Amino acid sequence: MSDTIFSKIIDREIDADIVHEDEHCLAFRDVNPQAPMHILVIPKKPIEMLARAEADDQALLGHLMLTARQIAADQGYGEAFRLVMNNGAAVGQSVFHLHLHVLGGREFSWPPG
């Protein structure tokens, strides 16, 4: 996987408004927020997209989900938030480093998109 803007944020080559970091992941505010809370949760391990994740990534993927839940709670949206993960350019993935969008603070429609 080539360097992405997210790998540069992990390496502190690019500034970001970081709200969480641990040994497995980093979370920061999206620079183009689509909701009052729009935080990206990214693994430190470079995985291009969910379709490229391996069986040994299972614990990491679960960690990302639980981290997203905790971030939503910390931000005051623990009972009402949306998680989005795009997989591939055809569905809107623009940075090819797996990431979760944690969104909250406004009403969302269904179906999404």
Q: How confident is the model at residue 112 (pLDDT cuts 50, 70, 90)?
A: confident
pLDDT at 1 over 80: no
CA atoms within 13 A on the CB side of 69: 6
Domains of the chain, residue spans = 5-87
Please state the pTM of the whole predicted model.
0.94
CATH code given to domain 5-87: 3.30.428.10
Q: Clarify whether 99 is annotated catalytic.
A: yes
For the stretch 64-86, pLDDT in tens is: 999 999 999 999 998 899 999 99
Measure the CA–CA gap between 13 and 9, rounded to whole angstroms. Answer: 6
Active-site choice (20, 24, 97, 99):
99
